[in-house]
Amino acid sequence: MSSPEPDAPPDALTGHPRQAGAPPDAADGSFLDRLSSDLPDLRVLTDPDETEAYRHDETPYLHPGRPLGVCFPTSTGQVQAIVRLAADHRVPLVPRGAGSGLSGGAIAVEGGLTLVMTGMDAILEIDAENLCAVVQPGVINAELGRAAGEHGLFYAPDPASYEWCTIGGNLAENSGGLRCVKYGVTRDAVLGLEVVLADGSVIRTGGKNVKDVLGYDLTHLFVGSEGTLGVITEATLRLLPMPSARLTLLCFFGTVREAGQAVATMTRDGLVPATLELLDAFTIRAVDAALHLGLDADAGAMLMVESDAGGTAAEAELELAARAAGACGATSIVRSADPAEADWLREARRRAHWSLEQAGVARMDDVGVPRRRVPEMLAAIERVAADQGMRIGVFGHAGDGNLHPTYVMDRDDPAAEARIDAARAAIYAAALELGGTVSGEHGTGVAKRGYLEAQRGGDAVRVMRAVKAALDPLGILNPGKVL
Ligand SMILES: Cc1cc2nc3c(=O)[nH]c(=O)nc-3n(C[C@H](O)[C@H](O)[C@H](O)COP(=O)(O)OP(=O)(O)OC[C@H]3O[C@@H](n4cnc5c(N)ncnc54)[C@H](O)[C@@H]3O)c2cc1C
């Protein structure tokens, strides 16, 4: 599969295609004048030195446009007014949460206005009787988890960036995390949304009803839409009773393929643990060097298996996991000594990408395959690393079949980008060959839009374009992203 050159400046980002007949006044300041006169309380940055921090997300290799400005709405009413004004002036809008995205969804569009939603960060309600929370989009994921915990409740989706990323970003990316193997991804935790549409109208797509099937399921149309169909201004999210404290098992293997085989075996045996994460040898060593945890630095791979089933059920789950690991050649299997140690190990896994960054320029990728095919995907990544003569660390949510091959290049390697592109293309081809996906949880954004048709097919992309045209006929919402 040939690479669609993700590093080339995307047209819509660096030169927004204005609609024919559109008022050409955005750049001359009249849009910004109207913004400040209509919304005097809205904080707006226009100085390029100040807007620079909001141009990128966690994809420094992409080329954002230069925005007209960056604003910080604090209410749905403000978002509505901004969208209406932007529609009148044909100014592109880029919704943005914490900017932790890994596919370029929140990067700035040329001549556009970025809406930083982090000021809308109220947890409006924890409704313990209905097991749900009502939140604004700027709430940090981990903050919601802590607030739910005070009521003995639990918000399940937990991206590794959970201390940083927002619920709005999670919804817009349909993010996954370490607990998703048992509890599902963000999609599975959403009951309803409030969304400002491209014409400034506001809709509510659901609410506190657990069962509610009237009409089309608009809630899940907006989940994963990456800011291209509407701006999410409120969400009703499903909470669960707090599970039991977790028991943690570490299984070390001589090779990453044996670890992959153990994942496939555990799945086949019906194990649904709270967490089933994989780290390969390179990642184990990087994490250990950075955090000094005393992990087995000679191991070829490690699986972290957690059970929150409680009591004898947890013991039984970990016993099943240990048996599968042993049958697949585990060289050692150890239980964490206490909950504090287990917390540390989980934190170490969350810092896998950061640890690999200490070894060079690290670019995290994201592929998924049906779980039985995890060993083949791991083998394919090993082959690509050997063929390209490059270091690729692998970690990820192996229990979901979701792996993060991470290309680690020397900081001064002039051929780094070209080699990463070649590796990406080969890894995506392998994932598709195995019936997988080129994006398990990081979205499409700019980085993967060139692969959309190859995976989904032309007819499916035509339907996506029709949905986009119906909801955003002027093309002002996050143009150049996804499609
Ligand atoms: C170290 C690290 C670890 C990570 N681990 C994981 C992981 O385990 N699982 C995972 O799935 N992802 C992970 N990510 C990726 C990222 O954190 C998630 O995609 C996250 O959900 C993005 O949230 P954000 O608030 O930073 O959104 P941003 O990056 O700001 O935006 C992401 C997208 O959401 C849109 N958006 C934001 N807010 C709104 C809104 N209110 N309405 C409409 N659209 C909106 C933006 O336009 C953009 O398209 C990781 C990233 C890093 C850097």
Query: How many CA atoms are closer than 13 Å to the CA of 93, on its beta-carbon side?
Result: 36
Q: Evaluate: CB of 157 within 6 angstroms of ligand 1.
A: no
Q: Give, for ligand 1, the residue of 78, 100, 366, 402 to mutate: max count of ligand atoms closer than 8 Å to Cβ.
A: 100
Mutate to test the pocket of ligand 1, among 62, 175, 196, 354 (most ligand atoms within 8 A of CB): 175
22-58: pLDDT as tens digits: 444 555 579 999 999 999 999 999 999 999 999 999 9
Give me the CATH topology for the region 247-433: Vanillyl-alcohol Oxidase; Chain A, domain 3 (3.40.462)
Looking at the chain, the domain(s) classified CATH 3.30.465.10 span 123-241
pLDDT-derived band at 7 (thresholds 50, 70, 90) equals: very low
pLDDT confidence band for 19 (50 / 70 / 90): very low
pLDDT in tens, 124-176: 999 999 999 999 999 999 999 999 999 999 999 999 999 999 999 999 999 99
pLDDT of residue 14: 56
HEC readout, the chain: CCCCCCCCCCHHHHCCCCCCCCCCCCCCCHHHHHHHHHCCCCEEECCHHHHHHHCCCCCCCCCCCCCCEEEECCCHHHHHHHHHHHHHHCCCEEEECCCCCCCCCCCCCCCCEEEEHHHCCCEEEEECCCCEEEECCCCEHHHHHHHHHCCCEECCCCCCCCCCCEHHHHHHHCCCCCCHHHHCCHHHHEEEEEEECCCCCEEECCCCCCCCCCCCCHHHHHCCCCCCCCEEEEEEEECEECCCCCEEEEEEECCHHHHHHHHHHHHHCCCCCCEEEEEEHHHHHHHHHHHCCCCCCCCCEEEEEEECCCHHHHHHHHHHHHHHHHHCCCCEEEECCCHHHHHHHHHHHHCHHHHHHCCCEEEECCEECCHHHHHHHHHHHHHHHHHHCCEEEEEEEHHHCEEEEEEEECCCCCCHHHHHHHHHHHHHHHHHHCCCECCCCCCCCCCCHHHHHHHHCHHHHHHHHHHHHHHCCCCCECCCCCC
What are the residue ranges of CATH 3.40.462.10 in the chain? 247-433
Atom of ligand 1 nearest to the CA of 186: 11
Q: Is the shortest distance between the CB of 440 and ligand 1 below 6 Å?
A: no
Is the Cβ atom of 229 under 6 angstroms away from ligand 1? no
101 close to ligand 1 (CB < 6 Angstrom): yes
Summarize the confidence of residues 275-299 as an average pLDDT: 93
Closest by CA to 481, choosing from 48, 61, 62, is 62
CB 57 within 8 A of CB 99: yes
Residue 120 pLDDT greater than 50, yes or no: yes
Assigned token pair, 306: 């957690």
If one residue of 74, 173, 181 were mutated to test the ligand 1 pocket, choosing by the most ligand atoms within 8 A of its CB, it would be: 173
Stretch 268-274: mean pLDDT: 96
Fold for the domain defined by 123-241: 3.30.465
Q: Using CA positions, which residue lies closest to atom 32 of ligand 1?
A: 169
What's residue 340's pLDDT? 85
Task: Please give the distance, rounded to the nearest whole angstrom, from the Cα atom of residue 106 to the centre of ligand 1.
Answer: 8
pLDDT at 341: 85
Residue 8 pLDDT exceeds 90 = no
Atom of ligand 1 nearest to the CA of 178: 8
Pocket flag, ligand 1, residue 106 (CB < 6 Å)? yes
Strands 132-135 and 231-238: antiparallel
Q: Among the listed ranges 120-124, 316-320, 358-362, which one has the minimum average pLDDT value?
A: 358-362
Q: Which residues in the chain are classed under CATH 3.30.43.10? A: 11-118+467-471
Class of domain 11-118+467-471: alpha beta
Has residue 194 got a pLDDT over 90?
A: yes
